[in-house]
Amino acid sequence: MAAPDAVGGGAHPLDAAIRLAPAGAGHRRLRGATSEAYWNSVGPFGGITAAVMLQAVMQQPDRIGPPLSLTVNFPAAVQAGGFDIVVRLLRGGRTTQHWALDLVQGDGDQPMASALVACGVRRPVWSDREARPPALPPPPPDFGPRPGAFPVWLRHYREHVVRGGLFGPAPDSESAAWVVDHPPRPLDYPALAAMCDAFFPRLFMRHAAPMPVATVSLNVYFHGDDAAMAAQGCQPLLTEARGQVYEGGFFDQEGRLWGEAGRLLATTHQVVWYRD
């Protein structure tokens, strides 16, 4: 496994992990490398792959606004080392813009992850927030980190569980926890996308023993704009999650990430492969 973090100097490990440089002319093909800091069991943490694919869109000079939605499908485990992200602008209107991306590795540009991203310009129209955050106490002044945690990526989040446990069997998979990047880093869209994959697998809460799991598809909807990111800064987010159906080797889980002043910053859903 390469140690690309080493080139990061004093950079935050998340910034080092999502660093992309143009591979050729223009910005439609970008080059990055996997990060030891966000390594999972057989590949990178899926959240960091989601983050770097979103970052590829964030770096496009002709992007028209913040992200609205991100879907990442994971055909294969990303291999340690370098990768390219091939970016395609599907179409851009005045208020929404659609991008399609492949993360490729090896001879013949094998797709290891594929994503669709929509960006949008928010406008001063009638607005309303219907969703309300759960009534839970504020986070303790300090919690975490988990220096020796495994897989390694867990070491780069601090987490304080408020509701729900870890391994089951439990009667339901509902949980709530305060989560924040470690070391502290002001929130942005790639960090938020990564956090959407940081939930403990719901399967493990319903079933007594851990099983091999792998995300098939991850979906993120962004409800916050640049001002909401700036307001959040380095404060922890209140995260909620639950699963619905675990059947025949696939299960789903959905989550909500609440920010400062009870503002819903992201909703997320994923389908996960598992086996006995």
Instruction: Give me the 163-192 binding string for a second copy, x by CB under 8 A, dash otherwise.
Output: ---------xx-------------------
Distance between CA atoms of residues 86 and 193, nearest Å: 19
Answer yes or no whether residue 221 interacts with a second copy by CB under 8 A.
yes
Buried b (16+ CB within 10 A) or exposed e, 182-215: beebebbbbbbbbbbbbbbbbbbbbbeeeeebbb
Instruction: Give me the 66-105 binding string for a second copy, x by CB under 8 A, dash otherwise.
Output: --xx-x-xxxx-------------xx-x-xx-x-x-x---
Answer yes or no whether residue 61 interacts with a second copy by CB under 8 A.
no
Q: Which stretch binds a second copy (CB under 8 A): 24-32, 46-54, 230-238, 248-256?
A: 248-256
Answer yes or no whether residue 64 interacts with a second copy by CB under 8 A.
no
Answer yes or no whether residue 249 interacts with a second copy by CB under 8 A.
yes
Give the end-to-end CA distance of the chain in Å, rounded to a whole number. 28
**R_g (Cα) of the chain, nearest Å:** 18
Buried b (16+ CB within 10 A) or exposed e, 88-103: eeeeeeeeebbbebbb
Q: Which stretch binds a second copy (CB under 8 A): 10-18, 20-28, 125-133, 189-197?
A: 125-133
Q: Which two tokens stand for residue 215?
A: 């995300």
Place of tokens 């639950």: 242
Binding site for a second copy (CB under 8 A): 68-69, 71, 73-76, 90-91, 93, 95-96, 98, 100, 102, 110-111, 114-116, 118, 120-131, 172-173, 202, 206-207, 211, 216-217, 219, 221, 223, 225, 242-250, 252, 254, 264, 267, 269, 271, 273-276
